[in-house]
Structure 1
Amino acid sequence: MEILGALIAGSFIGAVLGFVGAGGAMLSVPILIYGFGFDPNEATTAAIAVVFLAAASGVIPKARKKQVLYRDALVIWAFGLITNLGFSSIADKLPDAFITSGLAVVLVVAGASMLRPPKLEEQKRMPIPVLIVMSLVIGSITGLFGIGGGFIALPVLVLFFGTPQVVAAGTALFIICINSLTAFLGRPDLWDDVQWHIPIFIGAAAIVVAQIASSQAHRTNPKVLRASFAYLLFALATFTVIQTWI
C-alpha cells in the first residue's frame, strides 16, 4: 500500500510539474509529512532527492536543445552556496514547528507568484545586491525546506541576466538540480533516517508522468492551471499551519 501511495503521489507531483511547469517539488514535503508519516527533517531530506531526480530528468532535454546557461546557473548557485550548505548542516537541529511554519510561508509566497506572475518584459534588470539576496534566499529554502526555488530562480534569470524565457526555464531547472544535490550532500546525518523506498518510487513516478504531462501541456489553459495550483498551495499552507499550531 505504501508503494502504491508513493506512485500515486509521484504521479500527482509529476502532473503538476508537467502541466504547470514548476512547483511540483513544493508538494513533496507536505505529502511526505502528512501522507507517509515522515517527520519534517526526514521529509525535507527525502524531498531534496525527489526534487533532484525530477529536475535532472527535466534538464536533460533542455541541455540537448542548448537551452541551459551553465555559467549563469553556477553564479546563482555559488552565491547561494553559503545559505544552502549552512542551513542543510543544521536542519536536523531545528524544531519541527520552525520547518513546517517556514514551509507554509514559502507555499503562500509561491502561490502568490503563481497568481500574479511578474511582467518580465516591463521590468529592468536587477542590480547585483538584489541578485545576491535572491540567490541567498534560493539557497536558504533549498537547504531548509527541500524546495528547489525555481519560482524565484526564473524571474532572477530573466530580470538580471536578460535571459529568454525558454532558456531561463532550462537554466532554472539546472539551478534546482545542483542546489538540490548540494543540499542533499549537506545532510549526511539524516540519510540513514529516511525510508528511501518511498521517495524513490515518488521520484520515479514523477519523472514518467512529468514527461507525459509536459507533452500535453500545450492543450491546456496555463492561467487556469497556475491559478488552480496557487489555491492548492494556499490550502496546503493553511493545513500545515493548523497541523502545527492547533
Structure 2
Amino acid sequence: MLLTEVLINIGLGLCLGTIGGLFGIGGGLIAIPILGVLFGLDQHVAQGTALVMVVPNVMLALWRYNQRNRINWRWGGVLAIAGFCWAVAGASVAANLPADVMRYLFVAFLAALITYNLWRLYQPLSVQREMRAPRASQLALLGTFSGIAGGLFGVGGAVVATPVLTSVFGLTQVTAQGLALAMALPSTGATLATFAFHDQVAWGMGLALSCGGLISISWGVRIAHSLPDRLLRMLFCGFMALCALGLALT
C-alpha cells in the first residue's frame, strides 16, 4: 500500500471514528457503504475490513462512555452474552451469502430501522415511555436479535439495540448507546474472526482506518454528551438514511 493511500485511509478513519463515537456504533455502519462505493470493495470484504476499525473503536468508545455516564454492567453483560452467541451464527451465514444479496439485505435492514426510529421520534410526548428497568429475559431477547443483525451486517448490533433501549425502556440516547457498545464488543470481535477465517478482510486498509478512528473517537463521544437527546436521535436517523442511500446507489 502506497504512503498516500495509507494517509487517505487514516484521514477517513478520523472521520469515521468521530461519527462512531457520536452515535455509539464504532463507525462501521458508514464505513461499509463508503468502502463499497468509493473503494470498490464487495459487500463481504467491506464488512470485514470495516470491522478491523470497529473493534478497537468500540473498546475505546465503551471506556469513554463509561467515564462520562456509568454503564450498568449487569445489563450490559446479559446483552453481550446473548449478542456474542448469535453474532457467530449470523456471521457464518453472511460469509456464505452472495455479495449482492448481502447488500440488498443491508439496505432493507437500514430502511426498517429508519422507519422505526422516525415513528418513535415523532410520536406525541404523551406516548413516550417512562424509563423502566429491563428484565434479564428482555435483555437476552434484545441481545439475540442484535447479535444476529451484527453478525449478518458487521455493525455490532448497536443500531438495533440503541433504538429499542430508548423507545421500549425509556433510556436516554447516551445511556442506550453505552449499553449497546458493551453488547457490541464481544460480538464484533467474533464477527471479525469469522470474516477473517473466510479471507474477507483487507488488513492493510483496515489497520490504517483503525489508527485514524482511535485518534478521533473520543471527539465524537464528547459531542454526543453535549447534544440535546432529541437532536441526537434525529441525527442518528439522518445518518442511517445516508448510509442506506449510499448502499442502494452502488
DSSP 3-state at the match of 1:37: coil
> Which residue of structure 2 aligns with residue 39 of structure 1?
42
DSSP 3-state at the match of 1:122: coil
> Which residue of structure 1 aligns with residue 205 of structure 2?
198
The number of residues matched between the two structures is: 242
2:81 corresponds to 1:73: no
> Which residue of structure 2 aligns with residue 48 of structure 1?
51
- List alignment gaps of at least 5 residues for structure 2: none
Report sequence identity in percent. Answer: 24
**For the residues of structure 1 that align with 2:25 and 2:63, how far apart are their CA atoms?**
16
Equivalent of residue 243 in structure 2, options 200, 219, 236: 236
Is the CA contact (8 Å cut-off) linking 1:55 and 1:176 kept in structure 2?
yes
1:76 positional shift: 1.9
Scaled by the length of structure 2, the TM-score of the pair is: 0.78
**For the residues of structure 2 that align with 1:82 and 1:37, how far apart are their CA atoms?**
31
Equivalent of residue 97 in structure 1, options 94, 100, 113: 100
11-20 vs 194-203, which moves further:
11-20
> Which residue of structure 1 aligns with residue 153 of structure 2?
145
**Structure 1 residues 46-69: Cα deviation after superposition (integer angstroms, max 9, x where no partner):** 222222111101112344568233
Question: 1:195 corresponds to which letter in structure 2?
Answer: A
Question: 1:88 corresponds to which letter in structure 2?
Answer: A
Equivalent of residue 18 in structure 2, options 10, 15, 20: 15
Shift in CA distance, 113/18, structure 1 to aligned 2, threshold 3 Å: farther
Shift in CA distance, 23/225, structure 1 to aligned 2, threshold 3 Å: farther
1:6 positional shift: 1.4
**Structure 1 residues 87-130: Cα deviation after superposition (integer angstroms, max 9, x where no partner):** 21232210111210111122223434554448764376667776
232-241 vs 143-152, which moves further:
232-241
> Which residue of structure 2 aligns with residue 87 of structure 1?
90
**Structure 1 residues 4-54: Cα deviation after superposition (integer angstroms, max 9, x where no partner):** 331232122122234445573210111122222222111111222222111
Shift in CA distance, 113/160, structure 1 to aligned 2, threshold 3 Å: closer
Shift in CA distance, 242/217, structure 1 to aligned 2, threshold 3 Å: closer
Equivalent of residue 209 in structure 1, options 206, 216, 219: 216
Question: 1:107 corresponds to which letter in structure 2?
Answer: L
Shift in CA distance, 58/126, structure 1 to aligned 2, threshold 3 Å: closer
Equivalent of residue 175 in structure 1, options 175, 183, 186: 183
Question: 1:8 corresponds to which letter in structure 2?
Answer: G
Is the CA contact (8 Å cut-off) linking 1:77 and 1:175 kept in structure 2?
yes
Shift in CA distance, 222/202, structure 1 to aligned 2, threshold 3 Å: farther
- List alignment gaps of at least 5 residues for structure 1: none
Shift in CA distance, 66/17, structure 1 to aligned 2, threshold 3 Å: closer
Is the CA contact (8 Å cut-off) linking 1:68 and 1:168 kept in structure 2?
no
